[in-house]
Amino acid sequence: MAEINLLAKYPRAKRNLTARKQAQAESRMVARQFGREYFDGTREQGYGGYRYDGRWGPIARDIAAHFKLEPGDRVLDIGCAKGFLMRDLMAVVPGLEAWGLEISQYAIENCHPEAKGRILRGTAQKLPFAANSFAAALSINVVHNLGYDACVEAVREMERVAPGRGYIQVAAYRNADERDIFLDWVLTADTFGKPEMWRELFQRAGYTGDYYWTIIEISPA
């Protein structure tokens, strides 16, 4: 199990904390439905427009190198949204089979054309795949949306389908300032804490894959 940032090349987001703070209680309810508003509504409710722009390309290359992915390998992206990372993984490693698992019907219906038919609807807690059936399983900013016990189950499921070949990224904070920003910004997270909390959760789930943190940063207004 290693702490490694496979999203190092993900562009830094510009975040306007004041606007989101004002809108929060209602926005949280809306966001947690993971429908159109969350992906393609306003920034207060979620992404403010989740569109393919190629940003996952360099990350797909890093993931492919890290897991030594080859044509014919199967990769699972849990909480894959519209399948953009899946699409880029298949472009980076031609012949790779990328599969996705999503709770959002909206995301599946509006997925990238190259991900069509490759995303199953379901929840991370119960993956509809056989044990040891993937060369890698990824879950980026997803499992923290579950309550603690469900989150442990989701991590255990990742380990089951790709033992020792997982990559989990979750929201975390390292100090009180980061925690304050986190609480003001995050709309959907249910399980959160410091890296120590996550390491303990991973151990409890018997997880032996890799992981990293999403630390919320605010850009100056």
Q: Which is nearer to ligand SAM, 30 or 70 (CB)?
A: 30
Q: Which residues bind ligand SAM (CB under 6 A)?
A: 34, 79-81, 101-104, 107, 123-124, 140-142, 145-146
Cβ-based neighbour number of residue 7 at 10 Å: 19
Q: How far is the CB of 212 from ligand SAM (least distance, A)?
A: 12
Q: How far apart are CA 219 and CA 221, in angstroms?
A: 6
Q: Which is nearer to ligand SAM, 27 or 123 (CB)?
A: 123
Q: How far is the CB of 15 from ligand SAM (least distance, A)?
A: 14
Q: How far is the CB of 196 from ligand SAM (least distance, A)?
A: 23
Q: How far is the CB of 141 from ligand SAM (least distance, A)?
A: 4
Q: How far is the CB of 168 from ligand SAM (least distance, A)?
A: 11
Q: Which is nearer to ligand SAM, 63 or 146 (CB)?
A: 146
Q: Of 139, 148, 147, 200, nearest to 170 (Cα)?
A: 139
Q: How far is the CB of 218 from ligand SAM (least distance, A)?
A: 17
Q: How far apart are CA 88 and CA 81, in angstroms?
A: 13
Q: Which is nearer to ligand SAM, 4 or 70 (CB)?
A: 4
Q: Which is nearer to ligand SAM, 16 or 95 (CB)?
A: 16
Q: Which is nearer to ligand SAM, 27 or 95 (CB)?
A: 27
Q: How far apart are CA 144 and CA 152, in angstroms?
A: 10
